[in-house]
Amino acid sequence: MDGTSRRTILGGAAIGLAATAATGAAAQTTSAPVPLRDPRTKHTRTPFPEQRQEWPGLASKMNPRPDHGEESYRGSGRLAGRKALVTGGDSGIGRAAAIAFAREGADVAINYYPSEEPDAREVVALIRAAGRKAVALPADIRTLAACEKLVADAVRGLGGLDILVNNAAYQQSKADISEISDEQFDRTFKTNIYAPFRISKAAIPSMPPGSVIINTISVNSYDPGEELLDYASTKGAQLILTKGLAKQLAKRGIRVNAVAPGPIWTPLQVAGGQLPGKMGEFGQDTPLGRAGQPAELATLYVMLASDEASYSTGTVVGAHGGRGSP
């Protein structure tokens, strides 16, 4: 080999790799430390003022405005090249997930109720500012036709689909079962359990091995609030849907997991999610002493969507400030 031995070549390569590793290690050890944040005071502990909006409500009109990670979330390419559909992606937890996905390198389609267009436009702008494709898909997802069209439009707009987040929900608090109309009960089930079932069923044929479905369930899946009888019933059903579907889809190489939030400051709360006069108590009874912000859940969706969680399926991750399960 013109005087250069194989051992010399390999030895030089090894030295080069060692030098690179040493440089990387030095960079890690010399990085500025990340300051610790007390989770009790990371976000506001001040009781929220009493307020009410017509359903479905807008984040842009809430006082204070929720934090979806607009200013704080920093991506690192963990979802580069992925294609995600997020229902309820205009505000709340869905908005936080959509922003995080885009900043991690994914193209994102967001579904939202048509009257939530002002919030949706903000999210589309944030996705595009991250350099990713944004697809806006307004739709009332209470019918089979709407669910199937939503998925078809998302697949066409994104050029494929490998992340599905079933997040959209309907919640109306009522103190007694006698106050829950049949119309409300029907709407809650069609939004919270029929739609995730139908959307997942429609999406699966387009999802290759390595794809992920993430359902937003609730602490109410385990410990139902007495004023959320119909909502909690749907979230319990969604928990079982998650676990059962995970077993079915394992043979396809598709993972199915869920996130179970506790009291999170979203439009759901100001548009009928809390009983009148109770807004000031929202989240105050958690061990951390405050409600959560949507931004605090974003990394959970990123982790479950990423290949780093490749052995996690049929699992639920909690985010409830210390009160709830899992």
The answer for residues whose C-beta is within 8 angstroms of residue 116's C-beta and 6 or more apart is 56, 58, 90, 91, 138
- Tokens at residue 285, please? 């009874």
Nearest to residue 57, comparing CAs of 265, 295, 270? 270
- Tokens at residue 210, please? 């390595």
- Tokens at residue 223, please? 């410990």
Q: Is residue 309 within 8 Å of residue 255, measured between CB atoms?
A: yes
Query: Which 3 state secondary structure label does DSSP give 233?
Result: helix
Catalytic residue positions, numbered:
231
Q: Is residue 48 within 8 Å of residue 291, measured between CB atoms?
A: yes
In the block, which residue shows the tokens 């990371």? Answer: 42
Q: Is residue 147 within 8 Å of residue 141, measured between CB atoms?
A: yes
The answer for residues whose C-beta is within 8 angstroms of residue 23's C-beta and 6 or more apart is none
Q: Report DSSP letters for 127-138, one per residue.
A: HHHTT--EEEEE
Amino acid at 47: P
Distance, CA of 212 to CA of 145 (rounded, Å): 23
- Tokens at residue 188, please? 């809650």
